[in-house]
Every structure is written in C-alpha cells, then in structure tokens.
Structure 1
Amino acid sequence: MSEYVLTAGAWLGAWAWDEVVPELRAAGHGVHPLTLSGLADKKGVHAGQQTHVQDIVGEIERRDLRDVVLVGHSYSGIPAGQAAERIGGRLARVVFVDSNVPADGESFVSAWPDGRSTVEAAIAANGGFWPPLSADDCEGQGLSPEQIARCTAGATPHPGATLTEPAVLTRPLGELPATYIKCLLDWPEPSPDVAELLKSEQWRLVTMDTGHWPMFSQPRELARILLAAAEPGG
C-alpha cells in the first residue's frame, strides 16, 4: 500500500482532489489531500515558499507516512519537489502534474521572464496575494462550464511570497524517482527545464490529452496514472 499526499496548484486547496481521492482509496491506498497555508479553508494567512515545503514535510512526518507518492500540481510542484528531497527514505516517488519544478535559488516567477512584473504588480496591489483565476483563464483547457464554475468558485487568493521566494535544493532534482505528467492542451511539450530532467533514468514522462487541471477534467484517468506511478518502475 502506498500513501498518496496530494497538493494542488495556485489558488486551490485539498478540495480540488475530491474526484481523485475515491479512486485511489478504492485501490487500497492511503490518501492525504493537503491544503497549503494561506489557501482554501486556511485562506488569508501570509506564507512563504518554505512554509509550503514545511506544510508537506510536517504532514508526512506527523502521520509517520512511508512509501509516499508525493503529488504536486502546477505551482505546488515547487514545494513538493523540495519536500520530496527532505523526506528521504519515506519517498517512493514524486509525481509532477503539469507543474513547475524547483531549481535551487530560483522562484516560481523566475520562469516567467515576460510575466514576472505582471504577477509581482498584482501581488503588490492585492495586499500580498495573487488574485485567483477567472473563468477566462480556464478556457481551452478541456473543462466543461460546470467544471470551470467549480474551479473558480473554490479558488482563493494565493500568498504572494510563495511565488517570489527561491527554492532550496541540496542535490540535483533528477536524482529523485519522478513521474512528470504533461497535459497536452495546456502546452504540447515539456518546458526546457523539465525536458532536461527527463533525461534522467529516474524520471518518466506520461501525457494526458486534456488541460492544466486534470483533477477536474479527467479525474479517473489522472487517478489511473497516479496508481501506475506507485508500481515498480513508476
């Protein structure tokens, strides 16, 4: 039995995994969807990136979880990748779902050379929080109108410091056993940093014919891929 720890991307909380969790539990695994500090029912709390890393590490240690499949979607790939390194032998595999990946000394907005100033200005204008996504942001991502409404209705402002603070890694990310799930409607190719990591024998690439929020658009298929990631060889 594996223990799945699920972290959703910017603006989202544990609730985003509601349609994925039953599929994983039905297969006999432990499942722990996690809301990071400042989001969903923890909204309004200022948090930094290392706060989110500790949220994940603390949950795993508090529950004394072993054979952990740590899942990070979108933004949460950055804290999940750092947490995967820090939990040592508890980790079975880290799964990045159409996500950013951490690079030592780099932040979330470091990868946005054209959008960094826009994000930082939005954070400054909204009390230190990144305003939540709109329905327009979800267009073209394989979501039904009902799924878009659910996604946007549950979204909360995202703590800005988590996006601007740098990641801290002590060894190459490519040394971790990892699966990267690329959602093709969002962009057909992995980003250059992910493509470089996929050269590692420890990394596997899986594609999904859907958009950036597969936990809403294709939850059963996403669950199937997550279950396969826990098998020997990922």
Structure 2
Amino acid sequence: MANFVLVAGAWLGSWAWDEVVPELRATGHGAHPLTLSGLAEKRDVPAGQRTHVQDIVDEVARLDLRDVVLVGHSYSGIPVGQAAARIGDRLARVVLVDADVPADGESFVSTWWEGPERLEAAIAEGGGFWAPLTAADFDGQDLTDEQVARIVDGSTPHPGASLAEPAVLDRPLGEIPATYVKCLLDGDEPTGDVAALLTSVHWTLVTMDTGHWPMFSRPRELARILVEAAEG
C-alpha cells in the first residue's frame, strides 16, 4: 500500500484534492492531502519556501508514513522536490503534476517565464502576496463554469516569500524515482528543465489531454495515473 501525500499548487489548499482522495482510497492506498502554511485554512501562518518544504517533511513524520508517494502540482513541485530527499527511505516515488521543478539556488520567481521582474511586481502590488487568478484565466483549461467558480472561490493569496526563496537540493533530482504528468492543454511539451530530467532512467513521462488543474477537470483519470505510478 502506498501513502500519497498530495500538495496542490499556488493559491490552493488540501480541499483541491477532494475528488481525487476517495478514488485513491478506494484502491486501498492511503491519501493524505496537505495544506501548506500561509494558504487556505492556514492563511494566517507566515510562510516561506523552506516552511513549505518543512510542512511536507513534518506531515510524513507526524503520520509516520512509509512507502510515500509525494505528489506536487504546479508551484508545489518545488517544495515537494526538495522534501523528497529529506524523508529518506520513507520515499517510494515523486509524482509531479504539470509542476515546476526545483533547481538548486533558483527560486520560483527567478525562473518565471515572463521574467522575474514581472512576478516581483505582482507580489509587491499584492502586499507581499501573489493574488489568485480570476475566472478568465481558466479559459481553455477543460474546466466547467462550476469548477472554475469552485477554484476561484476557494483560492487564497499565495505568500510571496515562498516564491522568492531559492531552492536547496540535498540530492540531485534526477536520482529520485519520479513520474512527470504533462497536461497537454497547458503546453504540448515539458519545459526545458523538465525535459532534461526526463533523460534520467529514474524518470517517466505521462500525458493527460486536459488543462493545468486535472484534480478538478479529470480527477478519476488523475487518480488512476497516480496509482499506476505507485504500483508500476
């Protein structure tokens, strides 16, 4: 039995996995959705990126989990990728769902696709937080109006410090067993850093014909992919 620790991306909490968790548990696996500090019900907790890494490490220890599959979506691939090396032999695999990946010494901001200055300005305008997306930002992502409303209504501003702090890798990411899930409506090909990691014998690519938030648009299919990654 695998134990999935599920960490959603920017602005989201553990609630983002509500439709995935029952599917995983129905197969006999453990499913443990985690809200990172500074978000959702923990929105009043100060948080940087190292806080988020520690949140994940602490959750594995608190629940005394073994055969852990760490699942990181979007931004959360960065803390998940760092936490993977820190939980030692408790780790079975990492699954990165259309996720960013950590690079030693780099931050989410420093590798932002529009340039660091653009994201730094957005965080400054938000008083140190990255404002959530609006409904229009979800166009073309395979989501119903109801699903978009659920995401928008549940999102909370994302703590900027977690985006600005550089990653610290205790182990090369390419050495860690991983599955990368590429959501094709958010781009046909993995980014260059992910493509480089996929040359490792330890990494596997899986694609989904959906948008960037498959836990909402295709929860059953995503759960099946997670189980196959854990069991394969």
TM-score between both structures, scaled by the size of structure 2: 0.98
1:161 and 2:130 aligned = no
Which residue of structure 2 aligns with residue 24 of structure 1? 24
1:46 and 2:46 aligned = yes
Which residue of structure 1 aligns with residue 100 of structure 2? 100
Is the alpha carbon distance of 1:145 and 1:21 closer, same or farther for their aligned partners in structure 2, counting shifts above 3 Å? same
RMSD in angstroms over aligned alpha carbons? 0.9
Higher deviation after alignment, 57-66 or 118-127:
118-127
Contact 2:112–2:119 (CA under 8 A) maintained in structure 1: no
Structure 2 residue runs of 5 or longer lacking an equivalent are none
Distance, in Å, in 2 between the alignment partners of 1:214 and 1:154 is 16
Which residue of structure 1 aligns with residue 206 of structure 2? 206
Higher deviation after alignment, 73-82 or 103-112:
103-112
Which residue identity does 2:198 align to in structure 1? L
Contact 1:81–1:101 (CA under 8 A) maintained in structure 2: yes
Which residue of structure 2 aligns with residue 110 of structure 1? 110
Which residue identity does 1:52 align to in structure 2? H
Following superposition of structure 1 onto structure 2, how do residues 1-234 of structure 1 map, counting pairs within 5 Å?
1-112=1-112, 114-232=114-232
Instruction: String of CA shifts for 1:151-189, please: whole Å, max 9, x gaps.
Output: 111000000011011000022100000000000000110
Distance, in Å, in 1 between the alignment partners of 2:208 and 2:159 is 29
Which residue identity does 1:218 align to in structure 2? R
Residue 94 of structure 1: SS of its match in structure 2?
A: strand
Residue 31 of structure 1: SS of its match in structure 2?
A: strand
Is the alpha carbon distance of 1:117 and 1:44 closer, same or farther for their aligned partners in structure 2, counting shifts above 3 Å? farther
Contact 1:7–1:72 (CA under 8 A) maintained in structure 2: yes
User: Offset at 1:62?
Assistant: 1.0
Which residue identity does 2:16 align to in structure 1? A
Distance, in Å, in 1 between the alignment partners of 2:126 and 2:6 is 28
Instruction: String of CA shifts for 1:104-151, please: whole Å, max 9, x gaps.
Output: 000011222534222211211222111111111111111111111111
Q: Which runs of 4+ in 1 moved over 4 A?
A: none
Residue 204 of structure 2: SS of its match in structure 1?
A: strand
Distance, in Å, in 2 between the alignment partners of 1:139 and 1:98 is 17
Higher deviation after alignment, 121-130 or 188-197:
121-130
Higher deviation after alignment, 199-208 or 125-134:
125-134
Contact 1:45–1:159 (CA under 8 A) maintained in structure 2: no
Is the alpha carbon distance of 1:137 and 1:44 closer, same or farther for their aligned partners in structure 2, counting shifts above 3 Å? farther
Which residue identity does 2:78 align to in structure 1? I
Q: How many residues align?
A: 232
TM-score between both structures, scaled by the size of structure 1: 0.97
Which residue identity does 1:98 align to in structure 2? D
Which residue identity does 1:29 align to in structure 2? H
Contact 2:8–2:72 (CA under 8 A) maintained in structure 1: yes
Instruction: String of CA shifts for 1:169-227, please: whole Å, max 9, x gaps.
Output: 02210000000000000011000000000000000000000000000000000000000
Distance, in Å, in 2 between the alignment partners of 1:85 and 1:51 is 16
